[in-house]
Structure 1
Amino acid sequence: MNTAYYLHCFASLNCARHKGKEAPHKPVLLLALADLAEQGRLKGTETAPDAALETAFRQVWRRYVADVGFTMNMGMPFYHMRSEPFWHLSIGRWSGGDIEDRHKIKNLGTLRRVAARSTINAGLIDCLNSITEWEKLRALLIERYFNRRNGDTDRHGPGRQDVPPTVSNLPSPQNGPQYCAAA
C-alpha cells in the first residue's frame, strides 16, 4: 500500500489562520471520518454532514483541541474541505446564488438544508479502512496539527513506538493520487 499522496495532502491542508494559529477544523473532520470508518459506519465514498459525523467531530474536537480561541463547528470544514484535492463537495438544493460565496454556507444547519454531500477519493477511503495505512495518516495529523507524539491517549492507545511521519520526512507525491491498493 502507498499513502505518499495522502501524507502530502494531509501535511499541507489549506487551514484558515486565526491570530497566527492554524484552525484545527479540517484535521478534526478527517479524524472524525476515520473514527466512523473504524466503526464500520463509513460506507462507500460519499458522506453527508449527518448526526453520526457531527458526534464523531465533537468527540475528536474534545480529544485534541485545547485552544479556546477556536469554535467547534463542523459546517465550515465540511464546506471548505472542497479546496483539498481528495474532497469533492456537491449541493443538492441550492437557490442562494453563487455557491462560491463562502458566506452563504456558514453552518451545519445550512449544509443539511441544501442536501450537501461530499465524495471522498476512493484511495483515501481505502486508506481509512486499512489500519496500517490509516495509522500513518493519523499520526501525521496529530503531530502536525495538534503537536502530539508518542504517548497520546487517543483511540489507538498510549505509547506508540514507531516515529510518525513528519512534514520533513514525507516522500513527495508522484503526479496525483497513489491509491492504497494491495501491492
Structure 2
Amino acid sequence: MKIEALDYYAKKFQRLRVDRAHGVAPHKPILLLSVIEHIQRRIITKNQIYLESKLIQTFLKYWSYLGSLNHRPDISRPFFHMRSGKFWHFWANSSYEHLISSGVKLKTFAEVNRAIRYAYLDEDLFEFLCQPDIRGSLTAVLISRWFPGQYALIEEISQTDRFREPPAYLPEDFSEFYRPQ
C-alpha cells in the first residue's frame, strides 16, 4: 500500500477549501460523500464522475441531513471548485478545453454542464476509494473533520435513498431531482 499517498489524500480531505462567509459551507464534503457512496454502490465503476441526476439526488439527500441553512444546496459550484484540492480534474466537452484551463470560474449548473464532460480523481485516490477498508478510512477522516460525531448518521444515510426534509433554498435547477420518500 502507498502509505504516503494515503496520508496525502487524508490531509486533502481534512483541508478542503470551503466558503466560510456565512459559516462553513459543507458543499465539498457532501459532494465527496456522494461520490464515495456511488463508488461503494458501484454506480461509479470507472474514474469518471458525471454531473447527472443520480449524483445530484445523492448530493441533495446528504444535504437534507447535513446541509447548512445559510447556504444553497447547489452541486455545480463544488463540482467545479473541487479542483482547488488538486486531486479532482476535468475532462472538458469538445471546444471547451481552453475555457477549463484558462482559470475562468463557472458559476451555474448550465455553465458547468456545458463545459465539463466529467470530473475524475487522481488515479491513486480512485483506487483507494475502490478498496472497502481504505475507502472506510478516508471516509472516517472526512467525517471526523467536517461532520464530527455524525459517523453513525452518515452510515445510515449511505444505506438509504430517503431524504429528510426538502433542502432549504433548493435552487430551481435542482427541484426536479428532489424526491422525498
What TM-score do you get using the length of structure 1 for normalisation? 0.73
- The code of the aligned residue for 1:9 comes to K
Pairwise CA distance, 1:149: 5.0
The partner residue of 2:64 within 59, 62, 86 is 62
Structure-2 residue corresponding to 1:116: 117
In the alignment of these two chains, the number of paired residues is 152
C-alpha separation in 1, matches of 2:64 and 2:121 = 24
Q: Which runs of 5+ in 2 are unaligned?
A: 158-181
Alignment of 1:37-116 (within 5 A): 37-65=39-67, 67-93=68-94, 98-99=99-100, 100-102=103-105, 105-116=106-117
Q: Distance in 1 between matches of 2:131 and 2:63?
A: 23
The amino acid that maps onto 1:36 is H
Cα separation, 1, equivalents of 2:142 and 2:116 = 28
Structure 1 unaligned spans of 5+:
158-183
Root-mean-square deviation over aligned CA pairs: 2.3
The CA deviation at 1:22 is: 2.4
**Structure with the higher helix share, 1 or 2:** 2
Q: State yes or no: 1:9 paired with 2:29.
A: no
Query: 3-state SS of the aligned residue for 2:154?
Result: coil
SS at match of 2:44: coil
Q: 1:101 to 1:53 in 2, by over 3 A?
A: same
Letter in 1 for 2:149: R
| Other-structure match for 1:171 | none
CA deviations 1:16-54 (Å, max 9, x no partner) are 2223x2211111111000110111111221212111111
